[in-house]
Amino acid sequence: MRYKNVYFSDRRDAAIKMSEFLPLDKIRTEKWSLVAVSKGGLELASHINRRLKAPIDYLLNEPIMAPQNSECEIARVSEFEEIVMHDNLVKAFDIQADYIYGEAKRKHEEKILSQIYYYRKGRRFNDISGTTVLIIDEGAETGLKFMTAIKTVMTMKPKAVYVAVPILPKDVLESLEPLVDGVFYLHDIGDFVETASYYDELSEVDEKTIETILGE
C-alpha cells in the first residue's frame, strides 16, 4: 500500500524543488564541492549539479548490521574507515565494540575497496580541503550515512560543511544541525516511515549511471 504523503514524483522532481531553496549562485561562485552518500543521493546530486557544474563525488560507505538482526543497522563505515555507531542500539543489543570494528574492516576490504576500483577506477576521493562541502542524499532514516560522512569530511579540513536532503525525520534533523554549518531540507517528518514512501518512484540507480556521473 502506498503511503499517503507523497512529496516527490522522483529524484529529478526532488532536485528541482531543492534547487529553489539552495543558494545556487553562492555554490557556483564559491565552487562548493558536492558529496553524495548513497547511489540515490548521487543521482539527486547529479540533477542539482546540471545548473552548477560543481565538483561532485560519491563518499562510499557500508552499513554494519546487528548480529542478532540482519535488517537492523547499528553502525556505518566510510571508505576512509571512519565509523559511526548508533549508541542506543549498540547498548540495547549489548554488542561489543570488537564486533563492530571487525565488521567495519571486513566491509571495507570486501565491498568498499572493490567499489572504489569499479566506480572510480581506483581514483582517490576528491580533495575537498579548504572548500565548502555540500553533503547530499535523497532522504534519511537513522542519519548514520550523514553522520559518517560528516565525521569523514571533517578530517579533511573543509572550509565549511552543509547538508542537503529533501526529506528527513525531525530527530535526525535535530542531531545534524549542531554538527554542520547548515541543513537545507524541504520536509522534516515527526513520524517518519522510510524515504521511499515519500516518492512516487525511487528506482534503483544502475552501475553505468554511477560510472557516468563520476566520470564527468
Q: Show me where the domains of the chain are located.
A: 11-59+128-215, 65-120
Nearest-angstrom CA–CA distance, 73 and 65: 4
pLDDT score for 215: 84
The set of cell numbers assigned to 177 is 544541525
Record the pTM: 0.94
pLDDT value of position 131: 97
**According to the model, what pLDDT value does residue 40 have?**
97
Report phi then psi at 101, rounded to 5.
-65, -35
pLDDT for residue 213 = 93
User: Which pLDDT does position 4 carry in this prediction?
Assistant: 59
How are beta strands 83-85 and 69-78 bridged, if at all? antiparallel
The one-digit pLDDT tens for each residue of the chain (216 residues) are 344 589 999 999 999 999 999 999 999 999 999 999 999 999 999 999 998 989 999 999 999 999 989 899 999 999 999 999 999 999 998 999 999 999 999 999 999 999 999 998 889 999 999 999 999 999 999 999 999 999 999 999 999 999 999 999 999 999 999 999 999 999 999 999 899 999 999 999 999 999 899 987
Residue 1: the pLDDT is 37
CB under 8 A, 24+ apart: contacts of 187-190: 187/7, 189/5
Determine the 3-state secondary structure of 142 from DSSP. Answer: coil
Please tell me the CATH code under which domain 11-59+128-215 is placed. 3.40.50.2020
Burial 54-76 (b: 16+ CB within 10 A, else e): bbbbbbbbbbbebeeeeeebbbb
The SS3 assignment for 113 reads: helix
Q: State how far the alpha carbon of 61 is from the alpha carbons of 15, 26, 83, 185, in Å.
A: 22, 28, 10, 22
Residue length of the chain: 216
- Identify the pLDDT of residue 2: 44
Set of cell numbers at residue 148: 559518517
